[in-house]
Structure formats: structure tokens, C-alpha cells
Amino acid sequence: MKIIICGAGQVGRGIAERLAAEGNDVTVIDTQPDLVRSISDDLDVQGIVGHGAHPDVLERAGADEAEMIIAVTYTDEVNMVACEVANALFSIPTKIARVRHQSYLEPRFSNLFSRENTAIDVVISPEIAVGEMVLRRLSLPGAQEAIHFAREKVVALGMMLGEDCPLLDTPLSQLADLFPDLKAVVVGLLRNGEVIIPHTTDQMEAGDFIFVIADANSAQRVLALFGHDEPPARDVIIAGGGNIGLYVARKLEKRDAQAHVRIIESNRARAEAIADSLERAIVLHGSALDTEILREADVERADVFIALTNDDKVNLLSALLARQEGAAHTMSLIATLQALPLAGPLQVDSWIDPRAVTVSEILRHVRRGRISGIYPVFDGKAEIVEAAALETSPIVGRKLREADIPEGVRIGAVVRGEDVIMATGDLEIRPGDRVVLFARADMAEEIQRMFRVSPEFF
């Protein structure tokens, strides 16, 4: 697929890296020559210096042959205009725009991006997507990753196994015998940097980072069984009052009347503005790297400290300080690949990669077949996928033990109507099932084949 990406920042780079790795023909446009040079040198993509909304620049990027444009610059208006130009002059079929400013996304202005009013096919808001991810993590603080699928009926839980995990050295096949009513399947793990798709005879070891696909109603029990029994967080400190921090604070105020929220914001004007816009949350002006400010925020009694500034260093170090000052759990936004390896040594309990959230939003529009949800994990080495099974899909009509499922794929759960069914060898996929699976990143084409739409479907 020929794809044009406008914007070579962290989001654009993350998208380009993933799409190029899957064999797409990717061209990246940005006004900053150093960013274009870096992305061209490091990735198998073409780079063009220019304004992504200018017709001549899009023409040089091959817009006449492009099947998709993804506009993810830092400026909403540039992204919108780029999609309009791509539609009017080049008839690019799929147009995706990143929109950050919350006023564009208010429910009362929902008609703004309707098909009648704009050429944009898909609007993505990384800030809202990340905010929702934070809120889900707060309900499951024992998980380092918590990704929901199938109308939030299924959750993929990522967690590190410690020496105190009671299920270490237990063959996976015995889990069903020990807990016959547990709706959960261990589908993948990372051990010594290697992604492993476990078999039923495999055992888990201390230090493994595992992913469990489970019925969302069983999530707390699953976490407890694997040694992560932590209650939902209600006493919350947020470092950073930007779009994400404010979004999370507002939602917490609305969703939980007992939530006690404090925000630390370094910019005085911004601190005053968000204080006026919130009902109960306390806003403190100062740096999250100042221990006196942390103590003023009562960090020692916080259920969770969430670092959501736009600076990875501040996020990681403030989380470390909060931990040292007594916060029960720490969570950090980490936007750059270079900073991700520091999360473990700095004892950050869980982290959110905004690039992964954004890439997951986009990949489902790139993948062919009936793929409706994708979330990259393990730094893009693997992914969790939701797909719809049709009558003509090759996976339909056979028991899983007899189906042609590649070695690098493991099915975790099926949603059939309102029921969540965990995958076993006797399970037979039926038309209309929503299938949630774990796979190595190099299995993308195989997954599309498993759920492809045959011509006879039409």
C-alpha cells in the first residue's frame, strides 16, 4: 500500500516505522530537514522536506498513487487541510487526521467531522486515547498493560511475574485444572528479550513479562492469582495539567464521587486555568521534581502517582521520587523509544506509550480483512488483535486444534453475542465471532489470511 505520512515527530515516526516494516510504500513529509533526514536514514521510507498541506509537496510525495494519507503534524489545522487537499486534488481513498485541540472534539460539535462536512475519513485524538488508557489502568492498577477489546468484554493484561507469583513453574495446561472456572488464557510472554508463544506444556518463570487474555469481569481475580492483588485507585496525583492530565482529572471527577485528585502543574497560567475548569480536584503550582511539592500533595498516601507531562525525563524521575516519598503505585507516560528501557530500572510500576496507542488506532485501517482492533506490545515485537470471523474465513468451521493456525499466533478468547468464551482445542469458530488473539509482529499477513473475505462472501 502506498501511504503518505505528514509529520515526522514521535507519532509520525512510530507509524512510519511500523508501516514500513510491514512492507508498505511509505513517504514522510515534514518541514524540518533534520527530522526528515533522520527518518530517511533510519527507516526504509522516503522523506520529503515541505509543508504537508501544500499541493505541490503532496504531488512530489506521490499523492496521485497513494491509497492513504495520515496527517499527524503538531498542528490540527495543517492535518485537516492536508486531508482536504488530498481528497480534492488527488482523490486519495483513506484520509486520517490527528486532532489534538479539545474544542474540536466536544460532543456539541460532533457534526464537524461528519461525512457531509469534511473529507476526513478518520479522526484520531492521541490525547483522548491515552487518557482513556490511563483511566482503564487506574481500575486495574496491578497490570502494567490493560488493553480492552470486543466492546470492552475482553481485556489483555500485561504483567511482570515476581518471585512471589504462586503460579511459577506450573505447566499452563494445569491452570485449567487448578481453576476450572477461570476465564483467562496466557497467550504470550517476553523472556530475555525474546517473544514466546507458549504451549500448554510450558511453564512461567520469575522475570517473565506475560500477557493474559481474559474475560473483563475476571480481570481482578486474574491479577490476584498472578501476584498483583491491588485495589482500584481513588487517591490520585497527576503530574502535568496538559490535555491528557486535564482529561483524566475531569473523567475521574465524573466517574467516581469518592476520587481524591491532585494535579501538579509547572506553568502558573495553566494551573490557574485548569483549577477554574475542575470541580473538586486540587491544583498545585510547581514542579513534580520538587519533593516539597510532592509532600504538599500528600504523595505518601496516594494510591497512584501518574506522570503525564510532555517530558519523558520529568515523567520518569518524578515517578521515582513519588515512589521514594511513599506513593503506592507509579505510572508514567513515555513517548520516546530511548526512554522506555529506563522504566524498569527506575521502578516505574506501569507505563503508557502514546505511540503504541496511536499506531493501534491507525493499523486497523491499514490492515486488510476483518481486523477491527490492533495494539502493539513488547516495543512492537508482538501485537494483540481483534478480528471478525465471516462464513468464508478459513478459520471458521473447524476446532482450533484442527485449524491451520500459524506457530506465531495464539487465540485467547472469542466473543459470541454477549458471551465470552476462552479458547481451547475443542472450540470451533463460528461466523460472527469476535476473535481476540496474540501474535508476533511478523504474523500480520498470516492473520489477514485467517480472516480474509473471500469473493463468495459478496
- Helix (H, G, I), strand (E, B), or coil: what is residue 124? strand
DSSP class per residue in 184-249: EEEEEEEETTEEE---TT-B--TT-EEEEEEEGGGHHHHHHHTT---PPP-EEEEE--SHHHHHHH
Check whether 457 has a pLDDT greater than 50. no
DSSP class per residue in 327-341: -S-EEEE--STTTGG
pLDDT tens string 332-378? 998 876 777 777 777 788 888 887 777 777 777 776 557 888 888 88
Instruction: Using the structure block, give the residue that is written with the C-alpha cell 473529507.
Output: 119
CA distances from 124 to 14, 56, 384 (A): 15, 25, 20
Task: Give the pLDDT band (50/70/90) at residue 136.
Answer: confident
pLDDT tens string 385-417? 999 888 888 889 889 998 888 899 999 999 999
CA distance 23 to 36: 20
CB 343 within 8 A of CB 158: no
pLDDT tens string 43-76? 999 999 999 999 999 999 999 999 999 999 989 9
Beta bridge partners of 416: 419
Task: Give the pLDDT band (50/70/90) at residue 455.
Answer: very low
CA distances from 214 to 153, 206, 372, 379 (A): 9, 21, 18, 22
Q: Which three cell numbers, joined as nine digits, stand for 19?
A: 508501516
Q: Which three cell numbers, joined as nine digits, stand for 447?
A: 492473520
pLDDT tens string 163-219? 989 999 889 988 888 898 889 999 999 999 899 999 888 999 999 999 999 999 999
Q: At what angle do helices 126-139 and 243-255 cross, to 10 degrees?
A: 40
Go through the domains of the chain in sequence order and give each one's CATH number.
2-124 (3.40.50.720), 145-217+354-458 (3.30.70.1450), 235-328 (3.40.50.720)
